[in-house]
Structure 1
Amino acid sequence: MLWHLLAAQPEIALFASLAIGFFVGSFKLGPIQLGGVCGTLIVALILGQSGARISPDLKNIAFALFIFALGFTGGPQFFANIGRGWRYGVLSIVEIVVVIALVLGAVALLKLDQGTAAGLLAGAATESAVVGTASEAIGRLGLPAAETARLQANIVTAYSVSYLFGLVTIVLFTTQFAPLLLRVNLRDEAERLWRSLGGDGALTEGQSLAAPPLVGRELRVTRGAGQTIGELEARYGHNVSVQRVTRARSVIKAQPAVVLKEGDRVLIGGRREAVVAAIPDIGDEMFAADGTDVYADRLDVMLTHRGVHGLTVAEVRARAAPAEARGVFIAAVTRLDSTIPALPETELHRGDVLTLVGARDDVARGAAKLGYIVRATQKTDFVFLGLGVLAGIGIGHLSARVGGVDLTLGTGGGCLLAGLLFGWIRSRYPLIGSLPSGAAQILKDFGLCTFIAAVGLSAGPDAIRLIREYGLALPITGIVITLGPALVSLVVGRMLLRLEVPMLLGAIAGQQCSTPAISALVGVTGNSTPVIGYTITYALSNVLLPLLGPLIVGLAGRVG
């Protein structure tokens, strides 16, 4: 009865796959978590035995929206990291070269078809988008409908098997095996790196800062009398800012030229270590409530200033004119939806979202110098979104013949490139193209999982056949394809690029596009230093790996 219902109303099978799949994917076994995408695929493969099928049009629309949103959100970071992020970018190139070589080796050794080869690449590299681009490429081969369906089903089955083993492999490699190979204590290395970046100390699991990094204090001037506000702030590297001066019940605007007098009440703010050091040189702390009407604003700013790209937080402050930087502090840095430590030696990239803290006028001035304010909005610019997807579909029709292999980007590759371009345009001209992060995340999650559920339902009957045909060869090959680029990157990153171990392991997680791996790494290290390396390779690999779908289909056809 249930099987007949699913076959008659496939929308039930679709949403059942999403609901049950995300439920299954939410369970964790240590640091291992399947996630919603893999969970949805597994459930869809089971429900696909009922004969439920989703319309190909819905599948294509869902994938186009997912891949465009993926490119749109990663566009600013992708273009920012092409140049200055070259050291980490090398690791993304290593990932691509080694994965292609290993997949083609498996094709020759195991006599794999194009679909199985593409599925192995997608699963071992833990990049779900390859499933879509490779499926499109197979659909354009001009094969009989039955053969096309079989090869596309093989993509999904090989992906589901190799993804599971690839995920476990990359998590264990980055958190356990790599530190053993390098003979380092990962937590100690992360704490040392944290301190070298200007941090006070690393946090262990479950800890948070009891003393915030940015503080304010009200003081009565004694020892600081006779010096100007500008001299006082310069003495502490402009990490302290005088927000208000009260003299004989009159409020004086806190200008750099104002000379402090004994008995003045001053409200200072800034980085905690600088404020603590400045208090003895100014006077005595007061505990009155006179400063309660002074507020600190928080403003999120998209960094677009070309001259700031590649500078550290400390360098940005040192190079800025005192009048421009006065009273503005960077409290947080967000890169690709990941928070990285906003420490003095943290390097900033175009496309980062900086959280500025200070008086309203100060943060507004800082925002104007650094980029544009990210306004909280719930509105999506559907004109921009529609034009972007249309442009992607148009780009996808372009084709080329390279080395005897016909390469066509297809809708997936075209929408990915269009998303990159439109995301970059949005970062340069923020008045157009609004796509709130929440809306973009819905497009990515729902679009990808709807596509995965659709192909999983159609692949259900062929899944068992492929697993019986290759047996343990698929998971073992998946492990090898995952380990290969990780090992090569470990050697290249440590011996040639001289990357710090926590950042290197984060970069290896990023080149695999593995969110579970970076989450496990942050838990093991006790701080967020691995995220610095992760964001760069993730931005690059998340764009480059999906483009390999058509390539591996073409190459596997010639090798096989």
Structure 2
Amino acid sequence: MGVLRDHPELALFFCLAAGYLVGKLRVGPITLGGICGTLIVSLLIGTRHVSVDDDVKTVFFALFIFSLGYMAGPQFFANLNRKSLRFFTLCLIELVCVLGIAYGLAKAFDLDVGTAAGILAGAATESAVVGTATEAIGKLSDLTSEQITQYQGHVATAYTVCYLFGLITIVLFTSQIMPMLLRINLADASRELWEKMRGGHAGLEADEREALPGTVGRTHLVTRADGRTVGELESALGGHITVEGVKRGSKLLTPSPELELTLSDLVQIVGRRSAIIEAGREIGPETPAVPGLDTPLATSQVAVTEKATAGATIDRLEKRHPEFREDGVYITDVLRNDQHLPASAETVLQRGDVLTLVGARGGLNRLVAKIGAVVKNDSTDFVYIGFGIVAGSLLGQIVVKLGDVPMSLGTGGGCLIAGLVFGWFRSRKQTFGAFPPQAATTLKDMGLAVFIACTGLAAGPQAWPLLKEYGALLPFAGIAMVLVPATISLIVGRKLLKIEKPLLIGAIAGQQCSTPAITSITQVAQSSVPLLGYTITYTLSNFLLPLTGPILVGVLGA
């Protein structure tokens, strides 16, 4: 341990490596996850009085919370509308319940402010609350430096125990118990809802892939289409295919709508497989690939920036832009934050969504220019990101007094709001402020992991005394603070808000910001449908829950 005390960088990265190794341990559908594993390891090492400078913790927490806000910003503001109001209600239920229960436990059992904040963070399974609450405790003027250190240590210890029980509870409750309470088979219900959204077409299981690609190109020999123009042929097939090339003898012709086809022409067409199958009856027999008529299909990722697209379904978008059918361009994937949504006709698009478009290059380029901007995330714009974190840090220094209670966002809350605004502003016109998703995710994950490791090391000496004092209370709090808001949300969401059952289960996992829960839900559902509810509440709760830390600390500290 002497080596770890003398070399804090060694202690820090050992906590990360060992913690993520512990986090991989699995018991049934439950894994602790790297963050909880890191906190456990760092608490154990911290009991030997190994510590890291507090400035390291502050810097990495700022990186984490800004990246979190940046990634969630486009969807957060997109969800502030009338259609999402019913999901917003679930987030308010979560917010009121966890604050009320934490405050009630603090008063009933005479808990110190650190323990109460740790219970709130752990039971809500929201790691960001650890940072915002710890920072808020450091600003309480009535505490000595020793008390501040002690209470900040209590945050981490209470968080660890409550997180473990809260995590197990939310995973089992949403994935196993809720379907029974709703009297559904989650896999069947998800498939039925998806079929309804897709206009009656069946969806795939989670471990299934299409045996044949949906968008294809074929070459046909003209026998039946002799004398018909390209435009007439495309119209006869309902506009679901496009003619990309015509070869007459040794000449390659430009396939304009007015071009008249003649016997023995070779025609290359591109479209959905269902339409391509019918093409042979209109044109003639299919032939092997012909040199010169092997136009490849291009793929482009486009961020939705067109204002009219926000809130529109994919079906409505395709009808508003006839280029989809005229030029043979198809949406094959919808990426929202880091979640892939079904590219069905009824999927509602939001500003900042990234669409994967597939089609011939000419038509693809014309369409991209109308609906959005090609995603270019080759390198991080550190000018934009740096000023964003500066703005967030300055915002966090503002103190407002509500009566006798001093309220401040702190670095965490300030950087979260700055991240939301900067991420949203970037999504409106993605020609500046690049922050590649992989880079943002890496900074977010590493920032949180380093912050948690520093917190655990500092909290180590206070861990055992707190566990002896409140050992039985912490597991109870972790379970109760999950079951109460989740059960209320289940009743309100179904009886009053009429949310579809698979979406409601996903939304309740999202209001708890529980990635392990939604992972388990989608495994049981064998479908990504519950993600449609999860993404809305997850985004809103990611903003709201971190703010509960300073609120609880401010109220109890007063």
What amino acid maps onto 1:217 in structure 2?
Answer: R
Structure 1 residue 352 displacement after superposition: 0.6
For the residues of structure 2 that align with 1:405 and 1:522, how far apart are their CA atoms?
43
Partner of 1:105: 104
Distance change (3 Å), C-alpha of 1:233 and 1:349? farther
Q: Which amino acid aligns with 1:98?
A: C
Does the Cα contact within 8 Å between 2:98 and 2:120 map onto a contact in 1? yes
CA contact (8 A) 2:219 2:290 kept: no
Deviation at 1:291, TM superposition (A): 6.5
451-460 or 24-33, which moves further after superposition?
24-33
The 5 Å alignment of 1:198-277 reads: 198=198, 200-225=201-226, 227-234=228-235, 238-277=239-278
2:524 paired with 1:502 = no
1:331 aligned residue = 332
Partner of 1:432: 432
- Measured against aligned partners, the alpha-carbon deviations of 1:160-218 in whole angstroms (never above 9, x if no partner) come to 11111111111111111111111111111011112112174333353222122222222
Q: Show the counterpart of 1:543.
A: 543
Q: Does the 8 A contact of 2:113 with 2:151 survive in 1?
A: yes
Match of 1:33 among 20, 24, 31: 31
Secondary structure (helix, strand or coil) at the match of 2:159 reads helix
Question: TM-score by structure 1 length?
Answer: 0.94
Instruction: State the 1:387 CA deviation.
Output: 0.9
Between the aligned partners of 2:172 and 2:45, the Cα distance in structure 1 is 31
Q: Distance in 2 between matches of 1:158 and 1:292?
A: 67
For 1:510 and 1:53, the matched residues in 2 are separated by 34
Match of 2:155 in 1: 155
Q: Hey, what does 1:479 align to over in structure 2?
A: 479
CA offset at residue 102 of structure 1? 2.0
Which residue does 1:370 correspond to in 2? 371
Tell me, in whole angstroms, the C-alpha distance in 2 between the residues paired with 1:472 and 1:417: 36
Asked if 2 retains the 8 angstrom alpha-carbon contact of 1:392 and 1:415, the reply is yes
* 8 Å contact kept, 1:6–1:50: no
**Which position in structure 1 is the counterpart of 2:195?**
195
Aligned to 1:444: 444
Please identify, of 335-344 and 290-299, the stretch whose mean Cα deviation from structure 2 is larger: 290-299
Tell me which residue corresponds to 2:299: 298
Question: What is the deviation of 1:506?
Answer: 1.2
Given that 2:490 and 2:504 are in contact with CA atoms closer than 8 Å, whether structure 1 keeps it comes out as: yes
Unaligned runs of 5+ in 2: none
Give matches, 1:274-289, under 5 Å.
274-289=275-290
3-state SS in 1 of match to 2:328: coil
What's the CA shift string for 1:398-449, capped at 9, x where partnerless?
A: 1222354321001111111111111122222423212222221221111111
Cα distance in 1 for partners of 2:301, 2:280 equals: 30
Q: Equivalent residue for 2:146?
A: 146
* Residue 288 of structure 1, CA deviation: 3.4
Alpha carbons of structure 1 residues 283 and 413: separation in structure 2 relative to 1, 3 Å:
same
Residue by residue over 1:101-124, the C-alpha shift from the partner in whole angstroms, topping out at 9 and shown as x without a partner, is 222222232222221121112112
Distance in 2 separating the partners of 1:259 and 1:100: 72
Which residue number in structure 2 is paired with residue 135 of structure 1?
134
Instruction: Between 134-143 and 229-238, report the one with greater CA deviation.
Output: 229-238
**1:469 and 1:229, CA in 2 relative to 1: closer, same or farther beyond 3 A?**
farther
Q: 1:421 to 1:223 in 2, by over 3 A?
A: same
Residue 427 (structure 2) pairs with residue 423 (structure 1): no
Give the Cα separation in 2 of the matches to 1:484 and 1:234: 58
Tell me the CA shift for residue 323 of structure 1: 7.7
Instruction: Report the counterpart of residue 353 of structure 2 in structure 1.
Output: 352
C-alpha contact 1:127 1:545 (8 A) present in aligned 2:
yes
1:63 aligns with 2:61: yes
- Call closer, same or farther: CA 1:245–1:458 in 2, change over 3 Å: same
Question: 1: CA distance between counterparts of 2:555 and 2:284?
Answer: 74
Q: Return 316-325 or 99-108, whichever deviates more.
A: 316-325
1:12 CA displacement: 1.6
Deviations 1:338-365 (A, max 9, x none): 1111112111111111111111222222
Question: What is the rounded CA distance, in whole Å, between the counterparts of 1:390 and 1:467 in structure 2?
Answer: 38
Aligned residue identity for 2:264: G
In 2, distance between residues paired with 1:234 and 1:90? 47
Alignment of 1:310-329 (within 5 A): 310-322=311-323, 326-329=327-330
What is the identity, as a one-letter code, of the residue corresponding to 2:144? P
After alignment, is 194-203 or 313-322 more displaced?
Answer: 194-203
Superposed counterparts of 1:86-125, under 5 Å: 86-125=85-124
Q: Is the 8 A contact 2:246 2:293 kept in 1?
A: no
CA spacing shift, 1:439–1:180, aligned 2, 3 Å: same
Question: Which whole-Å CA distance do the structure 1 matches of 2:189 and 2:65 have between them?
Answer: 37
* Superposition RMSD in Å: 2.0
Does the residue aligned with 2:401 lie in a helix, a strand or coil?
Answer: strand
Q: Deviations over 1:426-478 (max 9, x none)?
A: 22242321222222122111111111000100101111111111122111111
Q: For residue 362 of structure 1, what is the amino acid of its counterpart?
A: G
**Would the alpha carbon gap of residues 252 and 86 (structure 1) be closer, same or farther in structure 2, given more than 3 Å must change?**
farther
**Change beyond 3 A, Cα 1:279–1:188:** farther
SS in 2 for 1:50: coil
- Of the three residues 69, 74, 77, the one matched with 1:76 is 74
Deviations 1:86-115 (A, max 9, x none): 232222222212222222222232222221
Q: Offset at 1:504?
A: 1.4
**Residues 157, 466 of structure 2: 8 Å contact kept:** yes
Contact 1:324 1:365 in 2 (8 A): no
Kindly, what percent of the aligned residue pairs are identical?
A: 49
What aligned pairs does 1:455-494 form with structure 2 within 5 A after superposition? 455-494=455-494
Which residue is 1:530 aligned to?
530
Aligned residue for 2:335, secondary structure, equals strand
Moved more, 426-435 or 362-371: 426-435
**1:238–1:322 CA contact under 8 A, matched in 2:** no
Following the alignment from structure 2 to structure 1, what is the Cα–Cα distance between the partners of residues 289 and 85?
53
The alpha-carbon distance between structure 1 residues 108 and 498, as it changes in their structure 2 partners (threshold 3 A), is: same
- TM-aligned CA distance change 1:432 to 1:239, over 3 Å: same
SS in 2 for 1:529: coil
Instruction: Identify which range, 538-547 or 427-436, moves more after superposition.
Output: 427-436
Tell which deviates more after alignment, 492-501 or 148-157: 492-501
Q: CA deviation at 1:234?
A: 4.7
- SS, match of residue 530 in structure 2: helix
Letter in 2 for 1:39: G
Gaps (5+ residues) in structure 1? none
Number of the residue aligned with 1:392 = 392
Q: What do residues 291-320 of structure 1 show as CA deviations (whole Å, max 9, x unaligned)?
A: 763111111111111101111111111121
Secondary structure of the residue aligned to 2:546 is coil
Q: Which residue of 2 aligns with 1:49?
A: 47
Q: Which moved more, 1:517-526 or 1:271-280?
A: 271-280
8 Å CA contact retained: 1:202, 1:526: no
Instruction: Return closer, same or farther for 1:159/1:220 CA change in 2, 3 Å cut-off.
Output: same
Contact 2:305/2:372, CA 8 A, preserved across alignment: yes
The verdict on how the C-alpha distance between 1:213 and 1:121 changes in structure 2, with shifts beyond 3 A counting, is: farther
Which residue identity does 2:18 align to in structure 1? I
